[in-house]
C-alpha cells in the first residue's frame, strides 16, 4: 500500500514527560485500518489510497478528527471546486492557447472556432480575459475542460502524461469527474467509478476489437459530461452481440441478441462453461435476456426512449460484467 501522508500513528508523549494523551480514533495501525475501511465504504474502491482512481489524497488535520469528518471531506463534488479552479484554468489555457508574436497568449484559432461551433459560446481571444471569464462561469469551465481533454493527442506517451496531470487536479479537488478514453480515439470527462471497474475499462480502451470499443463508447455516453442514456444502452447491447455471436451463433454474422438467446434456449446442452456449476451458462444467458427485455430497441431500431441515469448505470454495470465474462471464454460450445 502507498504511504498515506495524513499523519497516522500514535500521538507522541507531551514534552517534559507526563501522561501520554489518548490516541485519536484514527491513531496507530488499528486506526489506519479503520480509516481504510471507511474510505472503501465512501469511495467504493478496494484500495483508494493506492489506486489510479484516488491517488495520494491528503486529508487536512481539521477534517480527520472523526469518522464523520473524513466521510464528509471525501465525498465527491460536482463541478470545479474553488480549490482546484486556478490549477484547472492554467492547465486548460496551456492546451487551448499559444504565444503570439507579441508574446501574449491567444486562442488557437482552429480550437477556438471548433468550440464556438459546438457550444455557441465564443472563448475570449486572450488568455488573461479567458481566465477571468471562466472563473466566473464554472458550468462553462466544465465544458471547456471536457473540450481541452478532447484536444489532447491520443495514444502517445506525452498524451498519457497530460491526462495524468489533468486527473491529478481533479482527484486532489475530490471532483466527481475524471478523464478517460471515450471509445472514439479521444479523451473526455467522465463521472468516477470504482477502481476495479476503471481498470477493466482502461484495458478495454487499449483494445482495437469492435466489442471493446463499443463498450468503451457506451460507458462514455452513460458517464460522460453530455449523457446519452439511450445511446449508451444501445452500444452496450451491440458490444454484447459482437462478443456473443462467435459463441452462440457462429454461422450468423448478423445475429441480434434476441437470436443469440434463442439459439441457446433451443439446445442449452450444446454449451459448457469454465465454472463447475452447470447452471452458470444458464445464468449468463438469463442475464443477457434481462438486458434484452429491458431495452425496447433490442439492438435494432433507432427510436429514442427515456431512461434514468441510475437505471442506465445499473444496465452498464451488468453489461460490463457479461462482456468481460464472455470475452474471457467462460462459456463455449462443446
pLDDT tens for each residue of 93-133: 888 999 988 778 999 989 999 999 988 999 999 999 999 99
Q: Where do runs of H (alpha helix) occur along 24-137? A: 28-43, 67-74, 82-96, 109-119, 127-136
Residue 200: the pLDDT is 57
Separation CA 18–CA 177 (nearest Å): 48
Cα 286–chain centre separation: 27
Sign of CA dihedral 151, 153, 155, 158: negative
Task: Give the span between the Cα atoms of 36 and 148, in whole angstroms.
Answer: 34
- Residue whose grid cell is 459448457: 272
Lowest mean pLDDT among 158-167, 175-184, 262-271, 291-300: 291-300
- Extract the C-alpha cell encoding 29: 495501525
pLDDT single digits (tens) 269-296: 888 888 777 788 888 888 888 888 876 5
More confident: 35 or 125: 125
Listing DSSP states for 193-220 in one string gives: --HHHHHHHHHHHT--SHHHHHHHHHHH
Coil, strand or helix at 265: helix
- pLDDT tens digits for 197-216? 555 556 655 566 888 888 88
3-class DSSP assignment, residue 188: strand
Q: If you average pLDDT over every residue of the chain, what do you get? A: 74
Q: Is the pLDDT of residue 327 over 80?
A: yes
pLDDT at res. 167: 83
DSSP state of 331: E
Cα gap 6→155, rounded to integer Å: 35
Q: What's the helix, strand, coil split of the chain in %, to 5?
A: 55, 10, 35
More confident: 207 or 34:
207
Q: Strand 105-107 vs strand 97-99: parallel, antiparallel, or unpaired? A: antiparallel
Whether CATH 2.20.110 fits 197-333: no
Kindly list the domain boundaries of the chain, sorted by start residue.
Answer: 1-75, 82-192, 197-333
Q: How confident is the model at residue 297 (pLDDT cuts 50, 70, 90)?
A: low
SS3 at position 244: helix
pTM of the shown model? 0.52
Neighbours of 210 (CB within 10 A): 13
Q: Is 246 helix (H, G, I), strand (E, B) or coil?
A: helix
Amino acid at each position: 500500500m502507498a504511504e498515506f501522508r495524513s499523519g497516522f500513528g500514535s500521538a507522541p508523549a507531551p514534552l517534559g514527560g507526563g501522561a501520554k494523551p489518548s490516541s485519536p480514533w484514527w491513531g496507530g495501525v488499528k486506526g489506519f485500518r479503520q480509516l481504510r475501511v471507511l474510505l472503501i465504504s465512501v469511495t467504493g474502491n478496494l484500495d483508494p489510497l493506492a489506486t489510479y482512481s484516488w491517488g495520494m489524497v491528503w486529508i487536512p488535520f481539521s477534517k480527520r478528527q472523526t469518522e464523520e469528518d473524513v466521510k464528509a471531506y471525501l465525498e465527491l463534488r460536482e463541478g470545479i471546486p474553488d480549490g482546484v479552479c486556478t490549477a484547472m484554468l492554467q492547465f486548460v489555457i496551456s492546451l487551448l492557447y499559444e504565444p503570439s508574436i507579441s508574446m501574449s497568449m491567444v486562442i488557437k484559432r482552429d480550437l477556438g472556432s471548433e468550440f464556438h461551433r459546438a457550444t455557441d459560446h465564443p472563448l475570449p481571444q486572450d488568455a488573461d480575459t479567458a481566465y477571468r471569464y471562466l472563473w466566473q462561469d464554472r458550468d462553462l469551465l466544465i465544458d471547456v475542460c471536457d473540450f481541452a481533454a478532447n484536444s489532447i493527442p491520443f495514444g502517445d506517451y506525452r498524451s498519457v502524461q497530460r491526462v495524468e496531470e489533468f486527473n491529478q487536479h481533479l482527484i486532489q479537488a475530490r471532483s466527481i469527474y475524471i478523464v478517460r478514453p471515450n471509445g472514439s480515439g479521444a479523451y473526455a470527462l467522465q463521472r468516477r467509478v470504482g477502481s476495479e471497474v476503471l481498470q477493466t475499462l482502461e484495458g478495454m480502451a487499449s483494445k482495437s476489437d469492435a466489442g471493446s470499443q463499443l463498450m468503451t463508447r457506451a460507458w462514455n455516453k452513460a458517464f460522460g459530461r453530455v449523457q446519452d442514456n439511450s445511446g449508451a444502452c444501445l452500444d452496450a447491447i451491440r458490444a454484447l452481440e459482437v462478443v456473443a455471436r462467435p459463441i452462440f451463433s457462429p454461422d450468423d454474422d448478423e445475429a441480434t441478441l434476441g437470436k443469440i438467446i434463442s439459439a441457446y434456449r433451443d439446445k442449452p446442452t450444446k454449451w459448457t462453461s469454465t465454472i463447475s456449476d452447470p447452471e452458470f451458462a444458464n445464468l449468463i444467458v438469463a442475464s443477457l435476456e434481462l438486458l434484452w427485455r429491458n431495452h425496447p430497441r433490442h439492438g435494432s431500431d433507432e427510436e429514442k426512449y427515456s431512461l434514468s441515469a441510475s437505471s442506465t448505470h445499473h444496465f452498464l454495470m451488468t453489461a460490463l460484467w457479461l462482456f468481460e465474462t464472455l470475452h474471457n471464454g467462460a462459456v463455449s460450445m462443446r
